[in-house]
């Protein structure tokens, strides 16, 4: 499908927080944006197993608080909080590692809602200097583009992330997102040169270079 990537740049606020989780150093990678839909519809889009494959990935499992979920070909984990239509929290278990995702929805008005997603990642002394927050953040950026397209298209064609790197516009979009995360890392206290290099490596990774 044809996507005007310029229409999605600047829609998401990016930030990085220095924190601890279970007594260990971690980073909070945060994305926030508004969607033109009700909080109930937004909640349904991010939790309904029939809608998730239309913009994200197929999911299976016991989809309730305390239950275990599994995304097809990706992460699985435990749903630690599920309070409709406001908050969702879960462990993100992938490749032998564990991180945590927290999503909060807030109504803006009758037809607009705010989404805040925080992915709390243990601070890996090799991975973070190499890729920074963009490794996690760009993936969620692309997921939110898919969600926006889904909500705007009323069940139309699915946004194809895999096709991004095949177009010049797609690669430029990935580079811009990576740069945004590099700037967020600097604001959180990371070395500017290291953050810039990490952003370039993140862009290359998502572009398949």
Tally of domains within the chain: 1
Q: What is the tens place of the pLDDT at every residue in 164-200?
A: 888 999 999 999 999 999 999 999 999 999 999 999 9
pTM of the model: 0.95
51, burial (CB in 10 Å: exposed 0-12, middle 13-18, buried 19+): middle
CATH of the domain at 198: 3.30.530.20
Three-state secondary structure call for residue 118: strand
Q: How far apart are CA 154 and CA 44, in angstroms?
A: 13
What phi-psi label fits residue 71: left (phi over 0), alpha (psi between -120 and 50 degrees) or beta? beta
Which of the four pLDDT bands, split at 50, 70 and 90, describes residue 155? Answer: low
Expressed as residue numbers, the domain containing 155 is 5-206
Q: What is the tens place of the pLDDT at every residue in 79-123?
A: 999 999 999 999 999 999 999 999 999 999 989 999 999 999 999
């Amino acid at each position: 499908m044809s996507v005007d990537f310029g229409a999605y740049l600047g829609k998401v606020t990016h930030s990085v927080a220095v924190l601890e989780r279970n007594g260990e150093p971690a980073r909070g990678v945060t994305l926030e944006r508004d969607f033109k839909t009700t909080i109930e519809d937004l909640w349904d889009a991010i939790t309904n197993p029939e809608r998730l494959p239309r913009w994200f990935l197929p999911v299976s499992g016991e989809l309730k608080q305390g239950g275990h979920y599994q995304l097809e070909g990706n992460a699985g984990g435990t749903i630690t909080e599920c309070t409709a239509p406001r908050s969702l929290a879960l462990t993100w278990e992938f490749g032998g590692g564990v991180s945590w995702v927290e999503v909060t929805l807030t109504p803006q008005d009758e037809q607009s809602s705010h989404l805040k997603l925080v992915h709390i990642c243990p601070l890996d002394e090799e991975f973070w200097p190499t890729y920074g927050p963009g490794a996690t953040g760009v993936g969620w950026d692309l997921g939110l583009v898919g969600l926006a397209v889904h909500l705007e298209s009323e069940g139309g064609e699915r946004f194809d992330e895999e096709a991004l790197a095949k177009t010049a516009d797609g690669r430029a979009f990935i580079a811009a997102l990576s740069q945004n995360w590099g700037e967020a890392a600097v604001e959180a206290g990371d070395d500017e040169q290291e953050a810039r290099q990490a952003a370039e490596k993140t862009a290359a990774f998502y572009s398949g270079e």
